[in-house]
């Protein structure tokens, strides 16, 4: 085998390796997304500890993720968003307290005072690559994806 | 209980005898985009003080759920009525394979009740809803005379695109059964309850029915409604995903 032939062969091997790794990454993202959907579906939207879990949605726009988090009746000044690794921790106080018994006959004396949730992304978040907007009790987070090595 | 009718895997129950005055309307509100129809219908039932007169159930197609309302045991798909308005309201989405039979059950029932115009209320998902203040309302109708009424409240005809879900099936079945039907859609969030869109949607629908409905409360209490509707929205999202609701975002290649 000549040097040229060997280099062509080696480039093909590397290309196949790249494609396999790429498909593994895509599959990993798909599985993580499905697991997140299952987790969200099974998790109650409120806790006896007195907090509500907000509704949120996530869109992959290629170079960035856009998250919309619905926080109706939240005190805008109390919205607290922290980033840790690949997770987003959200807390926001409610403007008015709500008893679960106002909405349903059950729930005992549980009183809701805040929103609380943890959202997982498929990559580590750099807080410097995040922009935030608030509107009508909803927040929009734009999170730039890290560049792959 | 007044009577029960079995239709395929569905059972329609009436709790009492009632007749509709002409012209009679039916409003169908299923949990769909932004829960626009369901939130609007819920408001309508409340402000018009409609009486619950029946319901639809299926042990095959609907989850094994009993709705408890004011200590009464009710069916998952609920029917409310006034003299000339039937409201069919459900917070539960049947699976797509149930839509054809359910459409036929409801259309058959509307015909028996002398309904002359079937209305349906829905959201129309728009990707930039977060930015929007002025929401557009669109309609699709098989009854040309309502076009003037809808245009009068700023609604536009839905010219090209795709519809996915129970309303799509209802439209097709109503066309086959030659029943006048109008779908009114207002721009909304897909994944979040959208009372603001419901208010706008209900304004248009009420004009078609010829009634006055105050929607101020829907706007004023929008945040409270959004809080309360979180579970209903969360429950319906897997169904919307499974039925490929995102097709509604697609650009059609219509001729």
Indicate the domain borders of chain A.
1-43, 46-149
Using a CB-CB cut-off of 8 Å, the residues of chain A touching B68 are 105
From residue B49, alpha-carbon distances to A105, B14, B20, B90, B205 in Å are 22, 18, 16, 17, 17
**For domain A46-149, which architecture applies?**
Sandwich (2.60)
Instruction: Kindly compute the dihedral angle of the four CA atoms of residues B142, B145, B149, B150, in this order, to the nearest 10 degrees.
Output: 20
Contact B59, B8 (CB under 8 A): no
pLDDT value for A72: 94
Enumerate domains of chain B plus CATH numbers: 3-249 (3.40.50.10900)
pLDDT value for A134: 92
Nearest 5°: the CA angle A79, A83, A85 is: 160
Among A37, A55, A68, beta carbon nearest to B230 = A55
Q: Please name which of B229, B99, B233 lies closest in space to residue B164, comparing C-alpha atoms.
A: B99
**Does A45 sit within 8 Å of B192, measured CB to CB?**
no
Using CA atoms, how far apart are residues B111 and B179, in angstroms rounded to an integer? 8
Q: What are phi and psi of B193, to 5 degrees?
A: -60, 135
Among B130, B222, B226, beta carbon nearest to A68 = B130
Q: How far is A12 from chain B (nearest CA, A)?
A: 37
pLDDT value for B143: 83
DSSP B238: H
Among A57, A72, A133, beta carbon nearest to B227 = A72
Asked if the model's pLDDT at residue A65 lies above 50, the reply is yes
Beta-carbon contacts of A117 under 8 Å, excluding residues fewer than 6 positions away, are A53, A54, A56, A89, A90
Using a CB-CB cut-off of 8 Å, the residues of chain B touching A60 are none
pLDDT value for B159: 87
* Most confident stretch, A28-37, B183-192, B232-241: B183-192
Using a CB-CB cut-off of 8 Å, the residues of chain B touching A72 are 222-224, 226-227
Element of type H or E holding B14: strand B10-14
Q: What is the pLDDT of residues B153-197, one digit of tens each?
A: 888 999 888 888 889 999 998 888 888 999 999 999 999 999 999
Within an 8 Å CB–CB cutoff, is residue B226 touching chain A? yes
Q: Please name which of A128, A127, A130, A122 lies closest in space to residue A148, comparing C-alpha atoms.
A: A122
User: Per mean pLDDT, which range of B8-22, B211-225, B236-250 is the poorest?
Assistant: B236-250
From residue B235, alpha-carbon distances to A56, A105, B148, B241 in Å are 13, 20, 37, 11
Using a CB-CB cut-off of 8 Å, the residues of chain A touching B130 are 68, 133, 135, 138, 140
* Most confident stretch, A39-43, B66-70, B78-82, B173-177: B78-82
Among A45, A52, A55, beta carbon nearest to B192 = A55
Q: Residue B34 has which token pair?
A: 């932004």
- List, as ranges, residues 182-201 from B with C-beta within 8 Å of A: 189-193
Going by their DSSP bridges, the two strands B85-90 and B115-125 should be labelled as unpaired
Beta-carbon contacts of B187 under 8 Å, excluding residues fewer than 6 positions away, are B123, B124, B126, B129, B132, B135, B136, B137, B197
- Greater confidence (B36 vs B93) lies with B36
pLDDT value for B182: 93
**Interface test with chain A among B192, B222, B237, by most A beta carbons within 10 Å:** B192
Using a CB-CB cut-off of 8 Å, the residues of chain B touching A137 are 223, 226
Average pLDDT on A80-106 reads 85
pLDDT value for A149: 46
**Mean pLDDT, all residues of chain B:** 90
Instruction: Kindly compute the dihedral angle of the four CA atoms of residues B89, B95, B101, B103, in this order, to the nearest 10 degrees.
Output: 40
Contact B209, B25 (CB under 8 A): yes
**Does A72 sit within 8 Å of B223, measured CB to CB?**
yes
Q: How far is A48 from chain B (nearest CA, A)?
A: 16
Going by their DSSP bridges, the two strands B67-69 and B72-74 should be labelled as antiparallel
Among B130, B190, B241, beta carbon nearest to A140 = B130
Helix axes B166-176, B99-112, angle to 10 degrees: 50
**Mean pLDDT, all residues of chain A:** 87
Asked if the model's pLDDT at residue A148 lies above 70, the reply is no
Asked if the model's pLDDT at residue B254 lies above 70, the reply is no
DSSP A74: B
Q: How far is A8 from chain B (nearest CA, A)?
A: 42
pLDDT value for A147: 78
Q: What is the pLDDT of residues B188-235, one digit of tens each?
A: 999 999 999 999 999 999 998 989 899 999 999 999 999 989 988 988
pLDDT value for A107: 57
Longest dimension (CA), chain B: 54
Contact A76, A70 (CB under 8 A): no
Using a CB-CB cut-off of 8 Å, the residues of chain B touching A138 are 130, 192
Q: How far is B226 from chain A (nearest CA, A)?
A: 6
> What percent of chain A has pLDDT above 90?
55
């Amino acid at each position: 085998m000549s040097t040229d032939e060997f280099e062509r062969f080696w480039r093909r091997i590397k290309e196949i390796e790249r494609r396999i790794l790429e498909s593994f990454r895509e599959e990993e993202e798909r599985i993580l997304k499905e697991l997140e959907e299952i987790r969200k579906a099974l998790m109650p939207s409120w806790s006896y500890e007195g907090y509500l879990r907000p509704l949120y949605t996530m869109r992959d726009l290629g170079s960035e993720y856009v998250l919309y988090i619905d926080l109706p009746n939240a005190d805008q000044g109390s919205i607290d968003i922290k980033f840790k690794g690949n997770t987003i921790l959200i807390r926001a106080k409610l403007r008015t307290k709500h008893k679960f018994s106002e909405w349903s006959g059950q729930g005992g004396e549980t009183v809701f005072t805040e929103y609380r949730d943890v959202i997982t992304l498929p990559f580590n978040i750099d807080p410097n690559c995040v922009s935030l907007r608030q509107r009508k009790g909803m927040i929009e987070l734009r999170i730039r994806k890290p560049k792959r090595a | 209980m007044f009577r029960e009718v079995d239709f395929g895997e569905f059972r329609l129950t009436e709790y009492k005898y009632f007749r509709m005055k002409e012209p009679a309307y039916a409003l169908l509100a299923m949990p769909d985009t932004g829960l626009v129809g369901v939130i609007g219908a819920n408001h309508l039932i409340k402000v018009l003080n409609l009486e619950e007169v029946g319901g639809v159930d299926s042990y095959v197609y609907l989850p094994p759920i009993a709705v408890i309302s004011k200590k009464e045991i009710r069916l998952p798909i609920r029917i409310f009525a006034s003299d000339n308005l039937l409201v069919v309201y459900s917070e539960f989405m049947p699976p797509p394979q149930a839509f054809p039979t359910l459409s036929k059950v409801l259309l058959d029932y509307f015909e028996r009740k002398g309904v002359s115009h079937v209305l349906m209320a829905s959201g129309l998902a728009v990707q930039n809803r977060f930015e929007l203040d002025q929401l557009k309302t669109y309609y699709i109708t098989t009854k040309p005379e309502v076009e003037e009424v809808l245009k009068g409240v700023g609604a536009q005809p839905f010219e090209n695109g795709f519809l996915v879900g129970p309303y799509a099936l209802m439209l097709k079945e109503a066309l086959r059964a030659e029943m006048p039907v109008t779908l009114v859609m207002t721009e909304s969030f897909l994944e979040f309850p959208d009372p603001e869109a419901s208010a706008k949607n209900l304004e248009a629908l009420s004009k078609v029915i010829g009634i006055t409905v105050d929607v101020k409360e829907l706007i004023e209490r929008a945040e409270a409604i959004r809080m309360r509707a979180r579970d209903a929205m969360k429950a319906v999202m897997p169904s919307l995903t499974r039925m490929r609701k995102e097709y509604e975002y697609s650009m059609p290649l219509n001729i």
